[in-house]
Structure 1
Amino acid sequence: MKIRILLSGLAAFTSLKAFANETPAYLGVVNKADGTASFINLETQQTDLVINVGYFPHEITSSPDGSKVFVTNYGKEHVRSTSPKNHPGNTVSIIDMKNKSKSGELQLGTDACAPHGVLTSADGKRIYITCEDRQEVLVIDAVKNEISHSVPTLQAQSHMVTITEDESRAYTANFSPGTVTALDLKNRTILKQISVGPGTEGVALSPNKPFVYATSVLGGFLVKIDTNTLEIVQKVATDRSPVRVLPTPDGKLLIVNNSADGTMQIFDADTLDLIKRIKVGRQPIGLVVPNNDYAYTANMLDNSVSVINLKTMQVTSELKTGSKPDGITYIPASK
């Protein structure tokens, strides 16, 4: 199935400052209510660029070299909306960071998709997207701009996805059934449906140990899953509504943001002992941990991003966003 690229001459940016030959590192933030993605310069901590994307976008990711950004246009007013006026989206917006413009839309087929979780492979040649309404993970050939294939999860609302660096496995968090699906990406088969808890939403792999972590939003806890046995080996309570979990790149810490309590919790990744609880903004949703020094969380009700220094374990600043910020990504500096 080919993906049709709709070239857009309407970059649809709201503001654009002068860029030097070398582009600094950015945070890309999806603003759900505005239908935009904003790009915050991490040197100046100011928004340099705002680009229109699709209807009710949710998640965002960057290619490894920072040259392209992908935004999933979920299309429903709420993640679990049943309103007949809300239709699931079928597109992913592509943003060219070199030209600072939207270069097109990836079309994800004719059947309802409701694309949500999105990430790129380590070499940037593939994009992995969850289709909530089709209960599958789409694998996109980013070189040929076409759908390579899909891998079924057979679980409702496959929400977020994480993959191993060698792309041999994927794990999806499935909200409605409260499960994590372990997928064999090479054979395109389901290895196991792992029962986690109500409202399984966040999922992340350890960078250096055989574990995958998942959060139960409605249960208020975090689990550690052994990737060899695909069994839960540990479970700890969190604050209310843990929506995301991510490790630091060195694998030592786990960062969890809790939307109902407006907190970020930092756990020891090995023991799951709580190290620190940090008050951030109201309803933190999107989370990115690009290095061992900083974490960033998008606060949906405050229209802001909290910057957290992981050495001092304190909020160092608050960055302004558009309306209802959700997904967030780190875009490395590039020439």
Structure 2
Amino acid sequence: MKRLKYFLLFFGVLFFLFRVAIFIVRLPSYSIKTNGKLYIVNKVSECVQVFDLNSGKEIGKISIDMLSHEAVKTADEHKIVLTDFGDTDKHIIKTINTKTNRLEKEQIFIKKVYGNGIIALPEKEKVAVIDYVSNELIVINIENDSIEKQISTEQEKSHLAVLHPNKPIAYVTNINSNSISVIDLTLNKVIKIIVCGLGRKGIDITPDGTELWVTNINENLITVINTTNYQITNKLRSGNESLKLSFSVDGKFCFVANATDGTISIFNQQTKKNIKTIYLHGKTTFFERILYHTPRPVNILMHPNGLYAFVSNSNANKIEVIDMKTFKIVSTIGTGKVPDAMVFIN
């Protein structure tokens, strides 16, 4: 009987130490110092976390009471605007004041706005929301709560968008139509439909505006499009379930988040070659699978100083910080449940 007690005690202590080891290994570790504040949208926690990138401390947490996974800052950086993807009854967007770090207003529209993607426009009071039900790009004035434009994408299940850096042109991904709508915001109409593969998802444009790169989750491909003639120039093999992608500040590299693989693919923009794959902790070895959460990178944000990239690891409730010189993970930031969108404010 004593042997059984010692045996159970021994394995009880081992199990306790094992759980402690897992807890310690999974703790976030932030060791860098850089400028600015990072606003992290935690989808399931329904809050926005404000993290000071210099002190390495959380300096605010804003309850938004809605399921949001897309957010942008206005042109003057005074506000962050979030869409509500989860509540199909309220049809709202919400704004956060970046000076006070408080929720500023909730805008409910008579027209049903099923907001998903959102982009900031050059005018500080305007954003454009992509409605995935009406399949429209909707220009909203957040100062007077008015809808100024409704432009049809002419496609189905419109999703995300990016704005040309030098021209009044928006590019919208359409999941069900497997296409990109090119919308002239001066003419207020679609000027081109680009058919380019199955399951259009993430989109970004080179800093000089010459190329669009679009993820293709049903084919695990990246489609590269010339913005002058709208021709597809390359199709690049990516990882499984490539969701979002983002160009480095200098435009030399494109980072792609492969959600199912738990990896980040890094492509050279000029050569179109995959020069490195970063593996997030949790899938590489047997022991990693035991010690870490299964990684799921879903979003990428580049620091304006070009030194760091931030990756939302939604399963692990962390932001992974990548050094842009070494392409290695150098820090992690603990978050709420299921981090997704991120916004940088100087």
TM-score bracket, normalised by the shorter chain, equals 0.7 to 0.9
Counterpart residue number, 1:177: 177
**Structure 1: how far apart are the matches of 2:209 and 2:186?**
21
**Aligned CA distance change for structure 1 residues 54 and 108 (closer, same or farther; 3 Å):** farther
**Aligned CA distance change for structure 1 residues 108 and 275 (closer, same or farther; 3 Å):** farther
SS of 2:215's equivalent in the other structure is: strand
* 1:41 aligned onto 2:42: no
SS of 1:311's equivalent in the other structure is: coil
**Structure 1: how far apart are the matches of 2:121 and 2:237?**
32
1:57 Cα offset (Å): 0.9
The residue identity in structure 2 corresponding to 1:70 is V
**Structure 2: how far apart are the matches of 1:261 and 1:59?**
22
Counterpart residue number, 1:241: 241
1:290 Cα offset (Å): 2.8
Question: What does residue range 18-37 of structure 1 map to in structure 2 within 5 Å?
Answer: 25-37=36-48
Counterpart residue number, 1:289: 302
Question: What does residue range 243-282 of structure 1 map to in structure 2 within 5 Å?
Answer: 243-280=243-280, 282=295
Counterpart residue number, 2:95: 94
Residue by residue over 1:131-157, the C-alpha shift from the partner in whole angstroms, topping out at 9 and shown as x without a partner, is: 111101111224444221121112222
**Aligned CA distance change for structure 1 residues 225 and 287 (closer, same or farther; 3 Å):** same
The residue identity in structure 1 corresponding to 2:93 is V
User: When the two structures are superposed, what TM-score results if normalisation uses the length of structure 2?
Assistant: 0.82
Question: What stretches of structure 2 of length at least 5 have no aligned partner?
Answer: 1-34, 282-294
Structure 1 residue ranges (4+ consecutive) displaced by more than 4 angstroms after TM superposition:
none
* 1:330 aligned onto 2:331: no
Q: CA RMSD in A?
A: 1.7
Aligned partners of 1:74 and 1:89 also within 8 Å: no
Aligned partners of 2:90 and 2:108 also within 8 Å: no
Percent identity at matched positions?
A: 23
Counterpart residue number, 1:215: 215
1:167 Cα offset (Å): 4.7
**Structure 2: how far apart are the matches of 1:309 and 1:30?**
22
Higher helix share: 2
Question: What stretches of structure 1 of length at least 5 have no aligned partner?
Answer: 1-23, 77-86
Question: What does residue range 6-85 of structure 1 map to in structure 2 within 5 Å?
Answer: 25-75=36-86
SS of 2:70's equivalent in the other structure is: strand
Give the structure with higher Rg (CA). Answer: 2
**Aligned CA distance change for structure 1 residues 209 and 32 (closer, same or farther; 3 Å):** closer
**Aligned CA distance change for structure 1 residues 124 and 280 (closer, same or farther; 3 Å):** farther
**Structure 1: how far apart are the matches of 2:110 and 2:51?**
32
1:88 Cα offset (Å): 5.9
Aligned partners of 2:209 and 2:227 also within 8 Å: no
Aligned partners of 1:174 and 1:180 also within 8 Å: yes
The residue identity in structure 2 corresponding to 1:218 is N
Residue by residue over 1:144-191, the C-alpha shift from the partner in whole angstroms, topping out at 9 and shown as x without a partner, is: 442211211122221111011345210011122221111111111112
Aligned partners of 1:247 and 1:255 also within 8 Å: yes
SS of 2:137's equivalent in the other structure is: strand
**Structure 2: how far apart are the matches of 1:107 and 1:166?**
31
**Structure 2: how far apart are the matches of 1:178 and 1:238?**
17
**Aligned CA distance change for structure 1 residues 122 and 255 (closer, same or farther; 3 Å):** farther
**Structure 2: how far apart are the matches of 1:34 and 1:114?**
21
The residue identity in structure 1 corresponding to 2:81 is F
**Aligned CA distance change for structure 1 residues 89 and 280 (closer, same or farther; 3 Å):** farther
Higher strand share: 1
**Aligned CA distance change for structure 1 residues 88 and 238 (closer, same or farther; 3 Å):** farther
1:45 Cα offset (Å): 2.5
Query: May I ask how many residue pairs the two structures share in their alignment?
Result: 298
**Structure 1: how far apart are the matches of 2:279 and 2:262?**
6
Aligned partners of 1:53 and 1:73 also within 8 Å: no
